[in-house]
Structure 1
Amino acid sequence: MSRTRIFSILVFAAALAVFGIYKYQEFKTTDQVGPRITMGQESITVSVNAGEEELLSGIQAVDKRDGDVSESLLIESMSNFIEKGRRKITVAAFDSGSHVTKASREIIYSDYQSPRFSLSAPLRFPIGTQDILSGMDVTDVLDGSLTDKIKISTDYSINTGTPGDYPMFFTVVNSAGDVVNLPVTVQIYDPAEERMKPQIELSEYLVYAAAGSPINPAAYVREITGEGASRENLLISQEIDYNTPGVYEVTYQVTGEGGTGMTRLIVVVSE
C-alpha cells in the first residue's frame, strides 16, 4: 500500500474521531429532556365555569436549561367523564428546544348537572306533522344549548297519518359524554275531532323534581277552556315514585259538552 494511501486513511480516521468527539460533547451539552411538571394537587374541585387559569392552578413546569417555564403550560385535552361530574385533563409544557412534557390532573365539578330538556308545548301534534321536536329544547351547563343535538330513537316509529299515542325516546349527549334519555308519549290527533273538545293549558309541560320532593300537578294548570269544562271536573292521573329517579307522566283529562280533552306533563325525578 502506498504511503499516500496510508496517509489518507489516517487523516480520515483522525477526522472521524474528532467529529465523534464533537457530537458527543454536543449531546452532553444539549438539553434532551422536557420540563418537569409538578402540581400541588393531582385532583381539584372546581365550578363548571372554571377557566384555564383555575384548572392549571398550582401546576408548575421547570426546565433544566430554561428554568421556570410555567407560562408555557396549557390544557391539551379533556377526557370524557370517568363518572358523572369527574374527568381528567391533560396538561403540556414546552421548553425552548421544543421538548414537550405532559401530565394529567383530575377535575371534579362541584355544581355539575346533566343536560336538561324543556318543553314549551305538549307533545301533541295534528296528523301529518313533520316535526315532533317542535317546542323541545335542551340546555347544558358545559355546552350551552344542545337542542340541535337531540336524537330520535330508531327503535320506535310514529305514523303521523294515524291518530294515537306513540312511545318515543329522545337522547342527547354533551361534550363530556354524559348521555341523557327522555322516554315520552307522543300523541297524534285529528284536528277535526279535537275542534270541539275542551283544552287544558299548562304553565309547563316538563318539570324536574328532586328525589323525595313531590310536586303538586294541579299547580301547573294555567287554564281550562271549553263549554261545560272546569277545574271541578278535572281528573289528574299520576304514578310517580319520587324515591326512584326516572321519567314519569302526569295525565290531565277534563270533560265538557264537546267531549273529553287531555294533555300530559312530563316529570323527571332526578338523583
Structure 2
Amino acid sequence: MRKWLIVLMAAVAIGATGILGWLYMRQDRKGPEITISESKKNSYTADMTTEDLLEGVKAVDKRDGDVSASLTVENVYPNEKGDEVTVVYVAKDNSNNVTKVTYHMTSEGNLMGFTSETKTSSDNTDTDAETDEALQDENETDSEDEEEPEMTEEEKAQEREEEKIDQLNPQDPRFYLNTYYVEIAKGTQIDRLSYVKDIQDDKDSTSDLYRKIQITGTVDVNTPGTYELTYYVVDSNGNASNGAVLTIVVK
C-alpha cells in the first residue's frame, strides 16, 4: 500500500513539474523590437521635440503586435566633441518586457555643455526665453570661473551620468558603474561586467538585478576608436533603470 502511495505522489510531482515547465515556456519574456526607418532624419537640432525624435521609429512585439504607442525618448546626450548626439529609445509590451536601443544623430550645431530636456510640441516661447536667459547666466558664470582647472573626460562622463540618475522616478532602479570613461591599449581584452559597481532598487535585491543586466553596444578592441556600451536593468515591476553609458577609447 505504501509503495503505491509513493508511486502516486511521484507521478503527481512529475505532472506538476511538467505543467509548471509548460507555463514557464508559455510566458512572454522577450521585449518588442524597435526599428528605425532608413529615411529618418539623421541630423539633430536643439529645438527638436519628442515628436520629432520619434518620427520614423516603430516598436513591434511578436505577441502584442504594434506597440509603438509605448515608445518614449529616455534621454538625449552629446558626445565629448558636441558634434553628435545619442538618442535612447524605450518601448514596452503588454507583459512589461522593456527594450532599449540607442540611435546616433549628427548635430547641426556644436552642443558642448548641452543637457537634454526633450521638448514636446506644446512647449511655448516663454520657456525658450527662460532657457536663453539661463544659458546667458551660465555663460557669465563660466567666464568668471575660467581659472578653474578643466574637467577630465572621466569627470565629465561621471557628471553626465549622475545627472541622468537624478532625473529618475523614485521607483526606478539606479545603475552605477565604477567608471564611465576608460582608455585601453589596442588588443586589450575587457570584462564588461567588471565595470558594474552597484544596482539599487526599492523592491528587488542587487543580486536579483545583477542577473537581469542588459548591455548594448560593441567594442572592437583591435581597432582604435571610441565605443560606447549602455548598461541597464528592468525590475520585477517593469521599471527600467537609467542607461549607464561606458565610453571606451581604444588606442
- TM-score tier (shorter): 0.3 to 0.5
TM-score (structure 2 length as normaliser): 0.45
Q: TM-score, normalised by structure 1?
A: 0.42
- Highest relative contact order (Cα 8 Å, sep 6+), 1 or 2? 2
Which structure has the larger Rg over C-alpha atoms? Answer: 1
